[in-house]
Amino acid sequence: MPAMITGTFAFVLLLLNTLVLIGPMMLIALFKLIVPGQAGKDRLSAVVMWIAETWAEICKKIFALTTPTVWDIRGADALRRDTSYLVVSNHQSWVDIAALVQTFNRRTPYFKFFLKKELVWVPFLGLAFWALDYPFMKRYPKSVLDKHPELKGKDLEITRAACEKFKNMPVTVVNFLEGTRCTPAKQARQQSPYRHLLRPKAGGVAFVLAALGEDLDAVLDVTVVYPQGRAPGFWALLSGQLDRVVVDIRIHRLDPRLWQGDYQNDRQFRSVVHGWVSDLWAQKDARIERIQEEWAERRPDTDN
């Protein structure tokens, strides 16, 4: 019963926070459509970002008020709000999004996710994504490109056009390289070589780097770990049943070689990107193992 009460109370507070702030966000976003000149649009975009950051900061306070979760954030001291980042992270649970909010809100520029174009039609969420200038990607599978070679390069053109909105302000772009949440069943189905991760999709990050590479200053290699074991559901967080979340950040400078090539048609360039991603993922897998071992060693002390 206490968990049910805690979870319901937290959910109601989060819902109220969202309902109160989404209206002003949408109104200002609509003004952007009619305001002449790029300078005016940029100022309104900054206001929309401020509202989003305020929403995220209130969410953090709600979690602090209603739940006992400890957010163990490592490596965030050097983060800045006046530069642009690419975040590459593992993905296990919807709690990962809350972990990113806890980690990056008001430490870096407000984050953007690359989204499938179809998500623009999701009620409420699609409007919020549009208001926040999230780039909607249109990717063509190889089978379609083989039948319609005239479409080659169109997906990249669409993404680059969407990313033009980021040219005048710093941005944090988030990419989950696994493409979906990691589960033991998916690991087995993929025959993943990693203990704690799915195989990363190098094509996704290559697509982002091709669109934004020159405008990004660093890669934030983010590892989210749930030391207690299996990744929790979002209800576990809301209901106060999640003890600790570890978020480990490593900052890497971007090598220009990672975007100065044609990923789809240049086999040698594709090999360079695959090698970079594989190295990141091998290090991340070892990092998760070390953090879980560290927690296992400390846990008897915490139980006494």
* Dihedral angle over CA of 218, 221, 224, 227, nearest 10: -130
Residue 230, CA atoms < 13 Å, CB-side half-sphere: 8
- Mean predicted confidence (pLDDT) in 213-242: 91
Say if residues 246 and 225 touch (Cβ distance below 8 Å).
yes
* Long-range contacts, stretch 274-281, CB < 8 angstroms, 24+ apart: 274/202, 277/177, 277/200, 277/202, 277/205, 278/200, 280/88, 280/200, 280/221, 281/177, 281/194, 281/197, 281/199, 281/200
User: The pTM is what?
Assistant: 0.87
Please tell me the distance from the alpha carbon of residue 29 to that of residue 23, in angstroms, as a whole number.
Answer: 10
Q: Tell me whether residue 109 is in a domain.
A: yes
Q: Tell me whether residue 16 is in a domain.
A: no
Tens digit of each residue's pLDDT (9 = 90 or more) over 246-298: 999 999 998 888 888 888 788 899 999 999 999 999 999 999 999 999 887 77
Lowest mean pLDDT among 6-15, 49-58, 265-274, 292-301: 292-301
- Mean predicted confidence (pLDDT) in 45-71: 94
Say if residues 182 and 198 touch (Cβ distance below 8 Å).
yes
The SS3 of residue 220 is strand
Name the percent of the chain lying above pLDDT 90. Answer: 51
Lowest mean pLDDT among 103-112, 136-145, 187-196, 222-231: 136-145
Task: Tell me which of 204 and 155 has the higher pLDDT.
Answer: 204
Task: Tokens for 213, please give them.
Answer: 């590479």
Q: Identify the residue whose tokens are 């944090």.
A: 172
Residues forming beta bridges with residue 247, ordered by sequence position: 73, 224
* Dihedral angle over CA of 234, 239, 242, 244, nearest 10: 100
Q: Tell me whether residue 33 is in a domain.
A: no
Q: Tell me whether residue 38 is in a domain.
A: no
pLDDT tier at 159 (50, 70, 90 boundaries)?
low
- Mean predicted confidence (pLDDT) in 168-189: 89
For residue 140, the enclosing domain spans: 70-303
CATH of the domain at 152: 3.40.1130
Which strands, in side-by-side order, build the sheet including 70-74?
Answer: 70-74, 244-253, 218-225, 85-89, 172-176, 111-113
Task: Tell me which of 269 and 132 has the higher pLDDT.
Answer: 269
The total domain count for the chain is 1
Task: Tokens for 266, please give them.
Answer: 């240049």
Q: Tell me whether residue 13 is in a domain.
A: no
- Mean predicted confidence (pLDDT) in 190-208: 89
- Mean predicted confidence (pLDDT) in 207-211: 81
Q: Tell me whether residue 63 is in a domain.
A: no
pLDDT tier at 139 (50, 70, 90 boundaries)?
low
- Mean predicted confidence (pLDDT) in 62-66: 96
Residue 132 has pLDDT above 80, yes or no: yes
Task: Tell me which of 188 and 37 has the higher pLDDT.
Answer: 188
Lowest mean pLDDT among 31-35, 52-56, 271-275, 279-283: 31-35
Say if residues 49 and 168 touch (Cβ distance below 8 Å).
no
Say if residues 217 and 82 touch (Cβ distance below 8 Å).
no
Residue 144 has pLDDT above 80, yes or no: no
Name the percent of the chain lying above pLDDT 70. Answer: 91
pLDDT tier at 304 (50, 70, 90 boundaries)?
very low
Residue 186 has pLDDT above 80, yes or no: yes
Q: Tell me whether residue 58 is in a domain.
A: no
Q: Tell me whether residue 54 is in a domain.
A: no
